[in-house]
Structure 1
Amino acid sequence: MKVKLTIKLLISMIIVYYITMTVYVVLNLVIYNSNITFGEKVFSVSFNISKFMEPYIEDLEKGNDFSLDDNNINKLTQNNIWIQVLDKENKEVYEVNKPENIPNSYLTAELIEFIQDPWGSSAPTTISTNNIAKGNENYTLLIGFPIDKIFRFKMTLTDESFKYHISIIIFSLILMTIVAYIFSRNLVKPMVSVVEDIDDLKNGIYINKKNKQGIFKEVSKNINNLSLILKENELQRKEADKAKEEWIANISHDLKTPLSSIKGYAELLKGDQYEINIEEAKRYGTAILDNSNYIQELVNDLSLVYKLKNKVLPIKFKEENLINLLQESIIDLLNNSKYSNKEINFNYYDDNIILDCDKKYLKRAINNFIINSLEHNSKDTIVIVSVLKKENNINIIIEDNGYGIKEEDFKNIFTRYYRGVNTSSAYNGSGLGMAIAKEVIDCHDGVINIESEVGLGTKIIIVLKN
């Protein structure tokens, strides 16, 4: 991969170079054959001395005397250009806008030097020459341009110097290719590393590597951060899958017991081989009803979890008296034969605390918290429910003096399908109670804080907006 990327990048750079040079040449050809300017009226990008001189030569060759029309003279004056016409003895016969330091006559050697070496004269000027035919006489036309606007240089090439320059060009191209290769390699190396890191992520390999330096520094840093996040998510997913599998196994086991009981009692009631009196029939019926209720509760929990997970729970907010709601919840639990011998205390200082909530589901959440304290502690555990009204919040506190929560259980207390191990009875919960309670509190924009210490008990603080 590294070699392929290097070659591709190298070829791309060479192609870009030649395309750039081609575009440059084409643009120059277009510009020099067009009348494109960048603010200059005379000395434009497409300025051509030969074309510039044509109208002046035509003017000067007309008639018997040398003269220019006013437009051409103004053009010379405005652009600091001058004209001088010399006869065959190199003496001036006509001039326009000629500076004072330009001589009126020249020796042939002086004239040649003046034309070829504009910087060497007393009046640095770029000179262009042309012949003028007037009558039977030939004249020399000198046009002087400002040297800051037009300048020329000459280069003489011998066969050896031509070979030398060609070799320099070839060497430059080779050097450029080598530099491009080195640059491509240095650019591709970290790029390949980044691509490999992305491939690792695609293949589920999450390794925190050393951050790259250079132009890919931020990319490398973000990939490492993403790798850590994906690794953590993968671990959480595996833990959730494991908990889910264990939960399915537990639920399957839990369902077998009540179903077996229901089936057994039903067969007894149906069969003719046993004589069953009214009392026994009632007892069997009660057992069937209890087991059926257990299965129904389990199904309801599963349905509620699905709705909570998919955000389709029909929460209906209404102003409710929180004290009455909590009293009903506690009374319902104590009226349950399973918890009739438990001690649940309720403390409050204001019997008219109004809360905007869904009574049904908030009551369900509170019940789940209280049941969790009752089921996972000893029989003599005391549960205290308190309500504190603050300026902006209402705190519902559920605390017990039980075993406390172990670190492993504490970490997974709101995890779906997780079951704690500190059960005080043959309690077969669904493993969804605490998760459901948290989801319900979340739907009420509430916050749950838990404090627990092994051997001392647990305190759950539910903070709801007032």
Structure 2
Amino acid sequence: MKIKRRLTLKFVFQLTVAGMVVLLIAGITLYWMKQRFVEISVTRDFASVGLERLVESSVLEKEGIRFAPNLLEQVKQNKGWLQSLDENGDEESSYYTPNDVPKHYRPGELVAYWTGVKPFPYQLALLIQQKNGRLYTLVYGAPNLLDPLLKQVSEGTFPVADKQFVLPDAIAGEIKAAHAYFQLLDPEGLELASYNKPNGVPSQYTVQEMALRTLYSERYGFHMRTLYDEQTGRTWLVGEPNKGVDSDSGTKPWIPEEYQVVFLGLAVMFTVLVVLFVLLSLWQAHRFGAPMLHMLVWLDSIGNAVYQEPVDRRGFQRSRTPAGKWRRRYRVYADMMVSIAKLSATLQKDQAMREQSESMREEWLAGITHDLKTPLSSITGYAHLLVEPSYDWSQEEVRKFSALMLDKSGHMDNLINDLAMTYRLKTGILPPETTEVELNAWLQQTLVLAAADPAYGKQRIVFHAAQTDVMVRMYTPWLERVVNNLTANSLLHNPPDTILTVSLLASEDRSFTIRFADDGDGMDETTLSRLFERYYRGTDTASTSNGSGLGMAISKGLIEAMGGRISVETQPGQGTIILLIWNG
């Protein structure tokens, strides 16, 4: 898998997971807010909201109906009670029911209590609902503080001081504990006296305001009961603050409880998301940034000629475990890391080869300088002898000196030509115009001329021709030079009894191979690996006057320039085989 696709899949997967986590957090927040809204509604108005929740949460078991424990706990906190009735009005189950509550209701009795036609010490709420084929009848009772209190204050006679009733301690404590208040109004609705009246309660009422405050108590913040005295025209009014309302002013909090839930939920959600994205950013930096930084440091080290991968404090490679496996965060960059490692190894190898080539070139230049100066010294010496007036050289001596000077100058010419040829081959020289030759006859003739060199000895070259004529187009001077170089290497750098066998092998697809095989000393791996280097010499210059250290490099370059390739097989003590191969 390519790194681009791998990175794309990684980022898409991570963004998808991050998006799903965000949606999950948002969903949890909305669910929590919904539950809080329900709890607020149940707390404020259990009679209408809580009873429906009770039915929804009910489970019919063998022992009877089981309700949600949290809703029953809310009933207890409201100081209320709960009954479940069957179709005959009998109590099936009850919770926190006082002793003065009936266990059985006649059809008209329950309605009379509920509508207030018949006095009942509790405020009642009924819910009749069908669920799972069963008809539920729930009776919820809550303490009725206002009606008894209204009756008590209207029947009593209390002194008034500065428009404030002076009540007995028992009644005053009861009113204050319930955060209740009461007022006495004249026939025009003007307050005559009051007790524990909050600041938000008016001192005068119109007909409309009295009716609105009685019907829409949630709008004004207070729940009221009134009693009109027909004889005096006065009105007694008892009230208490609704739940969640300031008992002094009758106003709702500056920030309603629902808004508080919304603000808290959003604040927690955004805080969690910010923390999540910070952690995700740190994880991304650790997961993707650290490997990229590691690779940049490595590349910077390569630029400073330090090719080893950076290591940690313990000396281990940062990208791998001590066991040599990729660390998890580096796996996605494995291809790139391998490429950098290959680049580092190649550059390191090239640097070593450059240093080696530089050293070899200096050695070669020293050797070639020696090779040039030695014959030049001989030529100069003989020239000085010839021009010396104090000597009268004979004609035979002059010819001898001249022959030696020609031999030395020819050696110098060969060295210079070899040097020039190596640089011509390096620039991509192409062979001059080729001619068609029959390779069997040409090779045999060339080897006969080469064998005539006295330095080789007699009968040391054996030629095996191909079974058929081999017609090729070739620039024969270059091929002749290659044959002479390979022949000289085999016969001059091996023991005197070494035999060189040259074979021409041809195939029907016009491919052919010239095989040079000797039974000499062979070469070791170091010599073989450097055989075709331009500045490498297998022996010193003293071994022969014909060696320049460039023969094999020139041979390889000439063969490749003519469309062939050269191959070497050798082992120490088992001779050497050199193949010149041309494919059809």
Does TM, normalized by the shorter one, top 0.5?
A: yes
Could you tell me which runs of 5 or more consecutive residues in structure 1 were left unpaired when the two chains were aligned. Answer: 1-154
Corresponding position of 1:236: 353
Pair 1:200-2:298 in alignment: no
- Contact (CA 8 Å) 1:305, 1:436: kept in 2 or not? yes
Partner residue of 2:268?
A: 168
Q: How does 1:117-128 map to 2 (within 5 A)?
A: none
Q: Who is 1:426 aligned against?
A: 544
For residues 422 and 277 of structure 1, the distance between their equivalents in structure 2, rounded to whole angstroms, comes to: 37
Which of 404, 420, 427 is the equivalent residue of 1:287?
Answer: 404
Alpha-carbon contact 1:375-1:427 (below 8 Å) kept: no
Alignment partner for residue 348 of structure 1, among 465, 476, 484?
465
- Correspondences of 1:397-408 after superposition (within 5 Å): 397-408=515-526
Tell me which of 451, 455, 458 is aligned to 2:569. Answer: 451
Match of 1:334 in 2: 451
Partner letter of residue 538 of structure 2?
A: G
Partner Cα distance (2:572, 2:279) in 1 = 71
Provide the C-alpha distance between the structure 2 equivalents of 1:330 and 1:350, rounded to a whole number of angstroms.
Answer: 18
Question: How big is the shift at 1:462?
Answer: 2.0
3-state SS of 1:276 partner: coil
Question: In structure 2, what is the equivalent of residue 386 of structure 1?
Answer: 503
Is the Cα–Cα contact under 8 Å of residues 364 and 437 in structure 1 kept in the other structure? yes
**Contact residue 329 and residue 363 of structure 1 kept, 8 A:** yes
1:168 alignment partner AA: V
Partner of 1:462: 580
Determine if contact 1:414/1:435 at 8 Å carries over to the other structure: yes
CA distance in 1, matches of 2:280, 2:519: 77
The Cα of 1:376 is off from its aligned counterpart by: 0.4
User: 2:291 aligned with 1:190, yes or no?
Assistant: yes
C-alpha distance after superposition, 1:256-305 (max 9, x if no partner): 10111111111111221222111111111111111111111111111111
1:17 maps to which residue? none
Q: Report what 2:145 is aligned to.
A: none
Equivalent-residue separation in structure 2 for 1:346 and 1:371 (angstroms): 15
Q: Percent of aligned pairs with the same residue?
A: 32
The residue number in structure 2 matching 1:372 is 489
1:317 to 426, 429, 434: 434
| More displaced 10-residue stretch of structure 1: 398-407 or 364-373 | 398-407
Residues 307 and 313 of structure 1 are in contact (CA less than 8 Å); yes or no, is this contact kept in structure 2?
no
Q: 1:207 to 1:316 in 2, by over 3 A?
A: farther
Bigger relative contact order, structure 1 or 2 (CA pairs below 8 A, ≥6 apart): 1
Instruction: Report how far residue 170 of structure 1 moved.
Output: 5.6
Deviations 1:176-220 (A, max 9, x none): 334424433443211211111111211111225545524323222
Aligned pair in 2 of structure 1 residues 452, 265: CA closer, same or farther (>3 Å)? same
**Worse overlay, 204-213 or 239-248:** 204-213
| Conserved? CA contact 1:448–1:460, under 8 Å | yes
Letter in 1 for 2:381: G
Query: TM (normalized to structure 1)?
Result: 0.61
Question: Is the 2:487–2:500 Cα contact (8 Å) retained in structure 1?
Answer: yes
Distance 1:203 1:440, change over 3 A: same
Cα 1:465/1:356, change in 2 over 3 Å: farther
Name the structure 2 match of 1:274: 391
- Cα deviation, residue 390, structure 1: 2.1
Structure of larger gyration radius: 2
Q: What is residue 342 of structure 2 aligned with on the other side?
A: 225
Tell me the secondary structure at the aligned position of residue 198 of structure 1.
helix
Counterpart in 2 of 1:302? 419
Q: What is the RMSD computed on CA atoms of the aligned residues? A: 2.7
Counterparts of 1:27-38 in structure 2 under 5 Å? none
Structure-2-length-normalised TM-score: 0.49
| Number of residues of Structure 1 aligned to a counterpart in Structure 2 | 312
Deviating 4+ runs (over 4 angstroms): 155-159
SS in 1 for 2:532: coil
Structure 1 segment 137-152 matched on structure 2, within 5 A:
none
